[in-house]
Structure 1
Amino acid sequence: MDKLPDTDILQGKIIICTYPKKDPDDFFEIISQLGAEVYYLPMIEVSPSLFQLQKEIGSYHWLVFTSKNGVSAFLQEQKPTNSNKMAALGEITAAELLKNGYVADFVGSGKSGADFAEELSGTIPPGNSVLLVLGNLAPDTLQRKLSANHPVDRVNVYQTIEPENIDENLLKQIEDDAYDLLIVSSPSAIKNLYATLKRNKTGLRLISIGKTTTTAMSELGLNPLVTAAESSYKALAEATISYFKKDLKNNTL
């Protein structure tokens, strides 16, 4: 069989993203160039929270960031010192640090919080103090794992909430099955979408950004068509393209 073309493999496909529109958006840039119609139905809103550290920032050996939102909210209020080392979960988080002038000393694989906890426990020397910079909905996976050998503090620097305004037309498209794929990049987004939909919940065609989001889907009785190889929007795009290539191949056999 001839190689399947990439240039128009997504032509006319309707893809709905459940995360807020970003600038830049690697997913949109890649997918729209291949002919897809990309729409945004944000199922979460993220806003900075007021926070206070339990001790001086310079007393922590490590600052641990798990998201881009955590980096931006934290740096609005605090300035790391030369005594702080920094760890980032995934390339997106590391890139946000770099954008603000900081280079991560360690970048985790980005596959899940549990994987990151394992990686950190083998990277941070025993006894080093750790500050976890998180959102209000982040589980205590990191804290439980690291607390065995490190003094650990946690600070919630942003909150993730359900959006006040939701595009009813796009919701109806999903309920009417008038779309090709839903792109989901967080557990909160799929939970909020599932709770908001009034019908046609079980047959959702989902692409997941990673294992943590896929787990949240499974808890709702949903299964993604594909889970991205790593937690990045570029990997989401690659997973989407891979799905349509496989679908096209199957339909032409």
Structure 2
Amino acid sequence: MAYLSIHDDGPVRVIRIARDERLNALNLALVDELVAALEAADAEPQVRAVVVTGGEKAFAAGADIAEMADATAVDMKLRDQFRAWDRILGVHKPVIAAVRGFALGGGCELAMACDLVIAGESAKFGQPEVKLGLMPGAGGTQWLARRLGKARALELLWLGEPITAQEAMALGLVNRVVPDDTCVAAAVELGKRLAEMPPVALRCIKEAVYQAMDTTLADGLEAERNLFYLLFATEDAREGMRAFMERRKPSFRGR
């Protein structure tokens, strides 16, 4: 891996963006590596959760502008660089972003594409593309509109100003804010807690919640019920209910 550092901490795969000399600017090759690493983790049974993080100064300071500065509209259309980002949403396991420093532009979009976000106190989130005469292209307008509503999303997108970790948490973009030096550890600890949960149930819950973001209530309720019924075919559901009745801790195996 040219741009990533990867290791396992028990059942948690930790993927660190390691292009520190460019504040982890997201070029095409880096995104391809990251998506491939996420898909590999998703396919490995011993990995139960994934943490994506960056450096102390930047989670990812945005896209690599040098790759786009001289591109034409046709170049960008043929490059179709954001298609790889869609594959991030296809990862079934929990993905946690551990964000320190700048998470701007594509970096903010990457954090929002993760399921949960743990932010260090230094974290700054924002979509400054408008200041380049551009707009987000990796989901920024869609994530912000869905999470914040029209007015707040437009304010952030039109002004392009960053917000602090505490402001991001108040808006619902961040799950919790911790000291910078404990940020990655806190994300890994959360991943380990999720690793103790039944993997198939986690996957079904994730599917239902993401479907709720872009469907009607009636369709969402129907999908939830069908996934609920499906879980009764799993060994984990039988184990969980037996353990509850026997007053012991369940042992989930992902079956």
* Shared fold, TM over 0.5: no
Q: TM-score, normalised by structure 2?
A: 0.24
Between Structure 1 and Structure 2, which shows a larger proportion of helix residues? 2
Structure of higher RCO (CA pairs closer than 8 Å, 6+ residues apart): 1
